[in-house]
Amino acid sequence: MVKKIAILGSTGSIGQSTLSICESFPDRYNVVSLAAGRNIDVAFEQCRDWRPRIISMATEEIASQLAKRLREAGLNDTEVLYGTAGTVCVATLPEVDFVVSAIVGVAGLEATYAAVCAGKTIGLATKECMVTAGSLILEAARKHNVALLPIDSEHNAVHQCMRGGETAEVKQIWLTASGGPFRNTPAAEFERITPAQALKHPTWVMGRRITIDSATMMNKGFEVIEACRLFDLPPAKVRVTVHPQSTVHSLVEYVDGSILAQISVTDMRLPILYAMAYPERPSAPSLAFDLATLSHLDFSPPDPARFPCLRLAYEAAESGPSACIALNAADEIAVAAFLDGKIPFLGIPRTIEQVLNATPSNAPASIEDVLAADEAARECAREIIAKASV
């Protein structure tokens, strides 16, 4: 059966890799709806090449510009929507079987939740969904019998390794971290790290926010929270190990002492294909890994002193949902301020810590509550940055 695919975040790095998988497996996947933000040029090309039934853009103005360009090019078979309602429509279209959730930040949260409630299988790339609304999404997934298949390479690796034993037999899981560009940078130099230096990731090519989050190791912190939710484990059983080769994507340690690891190329098309094809494994020669090129694998513990964001994430995971929402919101604002040259690199964790200290602990009962808590934390972060107290 051909799976009908909706892609939330189609113009982004994950979205484009998903389309590349659809191109490689035309007999398996049919793209029916897309959602993007502001990139009209790429959205136009995707409409021209894929002829989706619906595309949604971030705002009404961008949507009408895209609609005009499509009309002028004689491409009349795609309806152009906008905003959250448009993204929800893309994700819940009746014929859609599988939704790839890859909108950066919380902009895709409502659509992802709506897709779960509509019974769609989810390929989850956007870690913010699990970090900010993990318990609500999991509850809806249980209720609607929906599979949440992780696309994030580490969780995807854990998902694969978990097929080797029962959940009750898992002692702990190990998420691998490349360590980012500052793995060996002395602590004294962290204050002077520039955006250009932080945007150079040694092994993965990704969007700007996730690249900075990798440099601070906050990305790994979000992954710890996401793993706790997805695999129903306490933070103490989700460990991080620095593995500069980014070849082992993560490991699962079982109670009998066996450790299963997943090794593959550093190419997001592989976890995307795994999630889209699950439980099958289609042949993909272009994603083959040449074991002969592997000379050694290094693993070492992360340094919490140089990467305070990781400590903050563990603290938020222990503290509960409102701290996790604040962690994500404050990080997004702080990363943007760093990229704009408004705060130094270490201003990112300092901003987040101040926001966490100011966050009351309430469990959100709905996605609206999550978004309200998210906005409150953002405002708090903006005030802290404006006072230049970081």
Contact set with ligand NAP (CB under 6 A) = 9-15, 35-39, 58, 87, 102-104, 107, 125-128, 152, 204, 206-207, 210, 268
Least spacing, CB of residue 336 vs ligand NAP, in Å: 12
- The residue among 224 and 268 lying less far from ligand NAP, judged by its C-beta, is 268
Contact predicate 277/2, CB 8 Å: no
- The residue among 130 and 384 lying less far from ligand NAP, judged by its C-beta, is 130
- The residue among 14 and 70 lying less far from ligand NAP, judged by its C-beta, is 14
Least spacing, CB of residue 174 vs ligand NAP, in Å: 17
Least spacing, CB of residue 204 vs ligand NAP, in Å: 5
- The residue among 221 and 390 lying less far from ligand NAP, judged by its C-beta, is 221
- The residue among 197 and 203 lying less far from ligand NAP, judged by its C-beta, is 203
Beta bridge partners of 99: 6, 122
Least spacing, CB of residue 142 vs ligand NAP, in Å: 23
Least spacing, CB of residue 57 vs ligand NAP, in Å: 7
Least spacing, CB of residue 96 vs ligand NAP, in Å: 16
Least spacing, CB of residue 183 vs ligand NAP, in Å: 18
CA distance 27 to 25: 5
Q: Using CB atoms, what's the residue nearest to ligand NAP?
A: 12
- The residue among 130 and 390 lying less far from ligand NAP, judged by its C-beta, is 130
- The residue among 177 and 390 lying less far from ligand NAP, judged by its C-beta, is 177
Least spacing, CB of residue 219 vs ligand NAP, in Å: 7
- The residue among 56 and 354 lying less far from ligand NAP, judged by its C-beta, is 56
